């Protein structure tokens, strides 16, 4: 869509036919904004494998927006991964989001032949050369399981050197954390684009649970204001839209190479921010 910046939206595969139809309707609505691609998540330990595959293929073939499946190495053998790569390549998929992945509850230590995301990136390159544009994850506020920031930066550098083309960050609410992360990895010699992941604010209790689980910090001033609104959903959404729009504007002015919206399978919250920013269509 954009030669200078890229804009994308993320979905998660649903468990029901009704949920899937809602997802596809959301995708069709977002497609009218000509995003560069849609991504689709992959459940812990590959638990949504078939639904992810089906959703990705339908987005690519019916909605006509390039689709980028998430692929994780936790719980999958090289043969499993090779099969998925072959299927995606045959379907014309050109982009993959390569992740270590989360362990399902009760799995214990990681299983599978590849332990880390950089191993998965190397494997994809070995199997498919340059067919896929490989995205990896970045954590401006540090991966919740990292021992310290230095280890986390080193992990990211390994993914980049293994063959990643670009990165998408975990969501955050402090633009300074993004700029500082980019500054540190540039100092470490990594030059790939790092696109901020954007989470619209629509429901405070859900956001707090998500954020506590994934290590995303909600600044105290935002948390206190959202708490003050109580059950006033309209005020929460209006405040959230303003806060996120202002942060995105600062990110773009500061040189961010695009935005990746975590839609939670809803169109309106992301499009409100898009329209506030007057992004191209």
**Both tokens assigned to 45:** 């330990």
With CA atoms as reference, report the closest residue to 99 among 134, 130, 54.
134
The residues near 118 (Cβ < 8 Å, ≥ 6 apart) are 155, 158, 159, 161, 162
Residue 10: active-site member: yes
DSSP state of 104: P
What's the rounded Cα separation, in Å, for the pair 168 and 170? 7
Q: Is 120 exposed, middle or buried (0-12, 13-18, 19+ CB in 10 A)?
A: buried
Residue 259 parent element (H or E) = strand 258-262
Q: Which residues are catalytic?
A: 10
């Amino acid at each position: 869509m954009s030669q200078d910046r890229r804009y994308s939206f993320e979905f998660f595969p649903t468990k029901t036919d009704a949920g899937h139809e809602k997802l596809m309707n959301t995708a069709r609505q977002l497609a009218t904004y000509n995003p560069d691609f849609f991504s689709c998540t992959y459940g812990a330990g590959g638990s949504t494998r078939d639904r992810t595959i089906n959703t990705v293929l339908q987005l690519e073939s019916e909605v006509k927006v390039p689709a980028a499946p998430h692929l994780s190495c936790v719980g999958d053998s090289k043969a499993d991964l090779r099969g998925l790569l072959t299927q995606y390549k045959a379907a014309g998929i050109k982009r993959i989001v390569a992740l270590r992945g989360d362990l399902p509850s009760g799995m214990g230590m990681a299983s599978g032949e590849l332990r880390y995301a950089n191993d998965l990136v190397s494997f994809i390159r070995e199997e498919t050369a340059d067919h896929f544009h490989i995205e990896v994850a970045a954590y401006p506020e540090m991966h919740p399981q990292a021992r310290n920031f230095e280890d986390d930066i080193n992990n990211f550098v390994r993914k980049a050197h293994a063959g990643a083309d670009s990165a998408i960050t975990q969501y955050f609410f402090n633009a300074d954390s993004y700029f500082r992360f980019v500054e540190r990895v540039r100092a470490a010699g990594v030059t790939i684009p790092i696109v901020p992941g954007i989470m619209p604010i629509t429901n405070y209790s859900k956001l707090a649970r998500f954020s506590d689980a994934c290590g995303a910090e909600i600044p105290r001033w935002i948390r206190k204001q959202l708490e003050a609104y109580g059950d006033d959903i309209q005020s929460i959404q209006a405040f959230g839209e303003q806060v996120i729009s202002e942060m995105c504007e600062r990110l773009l002015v500061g040189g961010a190479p695009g935005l990746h919206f975590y839609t939670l399978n809803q169109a309106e919250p992301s499009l409100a921010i898009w329209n506030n920013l007057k992004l191209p269509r």
